[in-house]
């Protein structure tokens, strides 16, 4: 059974339909990529899973629980946490305090120190800047902090929305390497990313979203070699 299973969801913004019968799944231990152009519905998909929006039809099942009408704070409590596009940090709070904001829904704090140590191990720069205000960090460091904050919720599923957006190439490499490191620790990841090549390189499976509908799916390697994907998203 899939850890996360979305079946035939339709989502609207007012009268405008944003998602049309979207079906996808994430199994335990997987990196699943969701690629597509701007406006395809990628972020809407994550927002719907997170409970920030609700589908008009279809189901969202996570770890055996139905979530399609669950509120966002309850979605976090059942084990799904999202690192949003644009990072959305608290710029006048320190790195450490931003990380602690990720723990607000946790009831069990017994592993808190281990989780902090793990975030600092994944992102040594954050440890060096633990007392620095988040708003003074570089773009790459802010992205590290956004991912670290999500990890501090101790999720069962991590969702990343455009983690490489606006970063220098060397930092893009770092972010994708850390994604594989996080996954190697057993964390499933649902990755939304415009850098289709990098996303497909690390993904076990992937979906292509166009104008609100899933139009292609396969392993990361299969989609990397797909002529349609190469032409539309890889510049080949």
Compute the average pLDDT of residues 136-162.
93
Half-sphere CA count of 64, side-chain side, radius 13 A: 0
Strand order in the sheet with 16-26: 16-26, 4-13, 57-62, 65-66
Percent of the chain with pLDDT over 70: 99
Which value, in Å, is the radius of gyration of the alpha carbons in the chain? 17
CATH number of 68's domain = 3.40.50.300
pLDDT of residue 211: 94
Q: What pLDDT, in 10s, does the model give residues 57-70?
A: 999 999 999 999 99
Q: How confident is the model at residue 90 (pLDDT cuts 50, 70, 90)?
A: confident
The answer to whether the CB of 226 falls within 8 A of the CB of 203 is no
**Does pLDDT of 208 surpass 90?**
yes
Residue with tokens 């191990």: 121
pLDDT of residue 107: 77
pLDDT of residue 236: 53
Structural domain that includes position 13: 4-233
Q: How confident is the model at residue 180 (pLDDT cuts 50, 70, 90)?
A: very high
Domain count, the chain: 1
Question: pTM for the full model?
Answer: 0.93
* Rounded-to-integer distance, Cα 72 and Cα 6, Å: 16
Q: What pLDDT, in 10s, does the model give residues 103-121?
A: 987 777 778 889 999 999 9
Higher-confidence residue of 219 and 38: namely 219
């Amino acid at each position: 059974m899939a850890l996360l299973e979305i079946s035939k969801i339709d989502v609207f913004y007012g009268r405008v339909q944003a998602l049309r019968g979207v079906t996808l799944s994430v199994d335990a231990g997987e990196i699943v990529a969701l690629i597509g152009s701007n406006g395809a519905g990628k972020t809407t998909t994550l927002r719907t899973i997170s409970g920030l929006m609700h589908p008009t039809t279809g189901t969202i099942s996570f770890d055996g629980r139905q979530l399609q009408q669950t509120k966002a704070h309850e979605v976090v409590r059942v084990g799904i946490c999202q690192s949003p596009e644009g990072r959305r940090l608290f710029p006048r709070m320190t790195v450490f305090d931003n990380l602690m904001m990720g723990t607000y829904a946790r009831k069990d704090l017994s592993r808190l120190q281990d989780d902090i140590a793990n975030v600092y191990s994944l992102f040594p720069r954050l440890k060096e800047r633990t007392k620095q205000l988040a708003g003074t960090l570089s773009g790459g460091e802010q992205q590290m902090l956004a991912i670290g904050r999500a990890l501090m919720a101790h999720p069962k599923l991590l969702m990343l929305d455009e983690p490489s957006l606006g970063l220098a190439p060397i930092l893009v490499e770092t972010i994708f390497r850390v994604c594989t490191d996080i996954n190697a620790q057993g964390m499933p990841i649902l990755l939304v990313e415009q850098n289709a090549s990098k996303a497909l390189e690390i993904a076990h499976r992937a979906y292509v979203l166009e104008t609100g509908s899933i139009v292609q799916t396969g392993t990361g390697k299969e989609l990397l070699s797909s002529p349609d994907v190469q032409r539309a998203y890889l510049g080949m």
